[in-house]
Structure 1
Amino acid sequence: MTDRRGVVAGYDGSEQSAAAVRWAAEEARLRGVPLTVVHAWEMYAGVGWGAIPVADLRAVAEEVAAEGAEHAREVTGDVHAVLGRGGPATALIEAARDAELVVVGSRGRGGFTELVLGSTGVELAAHAPSPVTVVREPRAEGPVVVGVDGSAASLEALGLAFTEARLRGAELSAITAWPPDAEPGPVPLVDADGLREFAEGRLAGLVEPWREKYPDVAVRTEVITGPPRQVLLTAAKDARLLVVGSRGLGGFRGLLLGSVSNALLHHAACPVAVAHAPRD
């Protein structure tokens, strides 16, 4: 066992969290690291008739955590169940301090059931110190798709995507979205074809060091015309995993989670992994 927690998965007893735990267990098995299943519980003070003793609350929480660990042991052996104090996002962010990856389901027990993505997944993707994967409809087939725009976060995503593709023996598709308004019109004001060739060359240059590091990974690079959100949502329809950076080149730099990555977390058909730029 390593000194790190390896992969961390959140579990709250929901079907979505059970699927996430099993996905995380396979990830831990492939990486050769332990899996820590975290169940968050909050202690509420109560007085008067009907108050539930704290010891009973903790016992129920321990049972839920143990149940999550049993789901994981169907896939891998090195599994540990822990209780995190506070809300789910708080507990998982704390656990993520010494983790390689944090995994959660797309929806938990709390909140409004009609929401596509729970608040815990969004908060983790924005604030966790390690990469975060939100699991929706786990898949065993298809390529790993990564969005690359040259930002620091997207370069971290590129490295994570190569790792995931190698672990799964999957093809990697590295995609840059090319804005529609850059296509030549009837009276072109810029050399659009030259700019597109430059974008293709730049993407190939960003990918090349990782090709050399992971020569066994089959890689395809594409510059696809369309808004980044739509381009990547379309690519995710047949993917087993979509990897993106938490922040791209556009938008407000003060935001921790960009509009594109936020939209992909809510609407992508496959699991989505979010990588962050180095904090230094």
Structure 2
Amino acid sequence: MESYPRVMVGTDGSDDATAAVKVGGRIAAKLGVPLDLIAVWEDDNNDAWAVEVTTAAEAILKDLGVKEVNTKRVSGDPADQLVAYTNDNPQSLVVVGSTGLTKASSRLVGSTSNRLSHHSIADVLYAREPVPSQWNFVALATDGSDTSLKAVQRGLGLASALGATPRLVTAAKSHDDGARVLAATRAALNLDSAGVEIEEEILVDSQAASAIILQGWKYEIVVIGNKSMSGAARLLGSIANKITHGLETNLLLVNTTRS
């Protein structure tokens, strides 16, 4: 199963950002990898705020058992700075709060979370409060495509880090269609010999995005690929785009365009 060499958490001290600190810290501690903690402020005279925010986050990360924390406090546009980080660290897992993803006004003006969903080279995990007290299920959404297979692979590593049960999930017009997609996914990734119990769920619904959004409450995290998250397909409303902006649980958006 794939893993991440480091975790980056962006924080501004908000509730959702604190959720990102907790989730990112748990993953970094479990994987035994460094965590980059980044606070960005737009006012050059507001560095005291950044110190306060990162100091509080560092205390949380220490309690979670993160061994190496690299704190960065920089001024500038938060979205620009975090996107630049992903360009330099494409293999990292970026964890941020989900504020702005489900608000139309924020999407129009370009919130940090929204900008990352369309421009991050790295995988992005959008965290929400309340942070689960126990991580039971991670949904690995698949339609059998090559891009969804990449998302499933990385999602399996995340499920392992959180101690959660992975569940392959597909939405299809019929149960038989869904069964074929799940069987093809298992065969393509050789999952039956992975040594991990992987559950399955078929959502009988021709509208894949709405089906996953409606059933998202059952999972602590939903994992999807970022296919068609940019360009004309995004404007026309891709499945990934609809799920990203409609889901109300933690979401791992996997960048399937990089190796």
TM-score clears 0.5: yes
The alignment's C-alpha RMSD in Å is 3.2
* Matched residue, 2:80: 90
C-alpha separation in 1, matches of 2:257 and 2:116 = 16
C-alpha separation in 2, matches of 1:90 and 1:18 = 21
C-alpha separation in 2, matches of 1:255 and 1:90 = 20
Q: Residues 34 and 213 from structure 1, CA distance in 2 versus in 1: closer, same or farther, beyond 3 angstroms?
A: farther
Quote how far apart the aligned CAs of 1:201 are: 2.4
Q: Of residues 141, 144, 167 in structure 1, which corresponds to 2:138? A: 144
* Matched residue, 1:153: 147
Quote how far apart the aligned CAs of 1:42 are: 2.8
Deviations along 1:218-255, whole A, 9 cap, x unmatched?
3325353241122212331110110011126x997654
* Matched residue, 1:187: none
* Mapped pair 1:245 → 2:222: no
Equivalent AA in structure 2 for residue 178 of structure 1: A
Q: Of residues 117, 120, 123 in structure 2, which corresponds to 1:128? A: 120
Quote how far apart the aligned CAs of 1:213 are: 6.0
Asked if the contact 1:19/1:135 (under 8 Å) is kept, the reply is yes
* Mapped pair 1:60 → 2:39: no
* Matched residue, 1:173: 167
Asked if the contact 1:233/1:267 (under 8 Å) is kept, the reply is yes
C-alpha separation in 1, matches of 2:75 and 2:194 = 40
* Identity rate, percent: 26
Counterparts of 1:1-280 in structure 2 under 5 Å? 6-43=6-43, 54=44, 56-77=45-66, 78-96=68-86, 97-98=88-89, 99-107=91-99, 119-137=111-129, 138-139=131-132, 140-179=134-173, 197=176, 199-208=178-187, 209-212=189-192, 214-222=194-202, 224-247=204-227, 255=234, 259-279=238-258
Q: Which moved more, 1:138-147 or 1:10-19?
A: 138-147
Q: Kindly name which structure, 1 or 2, has the bigger radius of gyration based on alpha carbons.
A: 1
C-alpha separation in 2, matches of 1:134 and 1:227 = 23
C-alpha separation in 1, matches of 2:75 and 2:96 = 17
Quote how far apart the aligned CAs of 1:91 are: 1.5
C-alpha separation in 2, matches of 1:7 and 1:251 = 24
Q: Residues 167 and 213 from structure 1, CA distance in 2 versus in 1: closer, same or farther, beyond 3 angstroms?
A: farther
Equivalent AA in structure 2 for residue 76 of structure 1: G
Unpaired runs of 5+ residues, structure 2, are none
Q: Residues 115 and 87 from structure 1, CA distance in 2 versus in 1: closer, same or farther, beyond 3 angstroms?
A: closer
Unpaired runs of 5+ residues, structure 1, are 44-53, 184-195
Number of equivalenced pairs? 247
